[in-house]
Amino acid sequence: MGQRFEGAVCLVTGGGGGIGSGTARLLAAEGAHVIIADLSQDRAQQVAGEIREMGFQASPHAVDVTSQESVDRLLDDSWRDVGPVNLAVTCAGIIKIQPFLDLPAADWDRTLAVNLKGTFLVIQGVARRLVQAGRKGRMVAVSSVAGRGARADVADYAASKAGVISIVRSSAMALAEHGMAVNAVCPGVVATEMTYAIQRMRSQDTGENPEEMLTRSVTGIPLGRIETPEDVAKAIAFLLSEDAGYVTGQALNVDGGLEFD
Ligand SMILES: NC(=O)c1ccc[n+]([C@@H]2O[C@H](COP(=O)([O-])OP(=O)(O)OC[C@H]3O[C@@H](n4cnc5c(N)ncnc54)[C@H](O)[C@@H]3O)[C@@H](O)[C@H]2O)c1
């Protein structure tokens, strides 16, 4: 495996989850010291431990991305203990299935706080420190194909992910003069706990078997299989690498052909 990220320090929020841990493993295998930051300290420690057992570099850190104080602590601790965080991937996210007419305002606030405000706080926090230190960096936010269109039973989630694409564009524009690039990936249906939880929630409403629902949703994917965390990780790694040195402010669908815009 090449070493595209030798000497880099990469923060991965939601690093204890499916896409975050898959991304962290790939970046660590290519030389980065990865900071696994998650609301679940246990999951962060477990993933960091697995990466270190593979002979690569990783540190766990608890964070709540909805809190400015928590994000600042994460970034300050990481700079002090590991070094300048010059790469970041924002994977922390939540979803809850509920019909539009029943969506409580409190759930709207929570989804927007984790998925959108959390993305903003991390991008801004990483960028502020890099600008202050006169250093460059690259960031990738995990949006979703849901942010491209309409979703009747996850309206809050779809809005948050559309917002992620917007903050990626605005921050890319603001940070270009400082030598920073910010891009997004939009995954489709990825084999992670989030997807399995969605199937369970939908099956409670319809009475359908969750596995059968998943199989049916896979038949709608043009490339004909469910997406793996590694599929997403490879696209993120490309956008973090110098191979994407002239790419900024973009949202790349990584979805097996589910959406064409
Ligand atoms: N699974 C999919 O099909 C899919 C598709 C498109 C986009 N996405 C997005 O990819 C990202 C990762 O999803 P995943 O499938 O790996 O889900 P996951 O549930 O496996 O991982 C999400 C992680 O985020 C963490 N998290 C939740 N709230 C947090 C907070 N306040 N602060 C810090 N960490 C927090 C969770 O503890 C969890 O480890 C999410 O943003 C999700 O919306 C997932």
Give the CATH number for residue 79. Answer: 3.40.50.720
Residue 68 domain boundaries:
9-254
Q: Number of folded domains in the chain?
A: 1
Instruction: State in Å: Cα 227 to ligand 1 middle.
Output: 15
Flag residues of the chain having pLDDT under 70: 1-2
Q: So what's the pLDDT on residue 2?
A: 58
* Cβ–Cβ < 8 Å for 94, 17: no
Helix (H) or strand (E) holding 204: helix 193-206
In-domain check, residue 94: yes
- CA–CA distance, 224 with 228 (Å, rounded to integer): 12
Task: Flag whether the pTM goes above 0.95.
Answer: yes
Q: How far is CA 10 from CA 15, 119, 195, in A?
A: 11, 15, 25
Closest CA to 167 of 90, 57, 83: 90
Residue 213 falls within a domain, yes or no?
A: yes
Helix (H, G, I), strand (E, B) or coil at 120: helix
Residues with beta carbon inside 6 Å of ligand 1?
13-14, 16-20, 38-40, 43, 63-66, 91-95, 114, 118, 142, 144, 187, 189-190, 192-195
In a domain, residue 4? The reply is no
Burial of 211 (0-12, 13-18, 19+ CB in 10 A): exposed
pLDDT tens, 45-80?
999 999 999 999 999 999 999 999 999 999 999 999
In a domain, 240, yes or no: yes
Q: Is residue 187 part of a domain?
A: yes
Q: Residue 114 domain-assigned?
A: yes
Kindly report, residue by residue over 29-48, the tens digit of the pLDDT.
999 999 999 999 999 999 99
Would 2 be classed as within a structural domain? Answer: no
Distance of alpha carbon 59 from alpha carbon 153, whole angstroms = 37
Q: What sign does the CA torsion over 228, 2, 248, 118 have?
A: positive
| For ligand 1, atom 32: residue with the closest CA | 64
Task: Please report whether residue 260 resides in a domain.
Answer: no
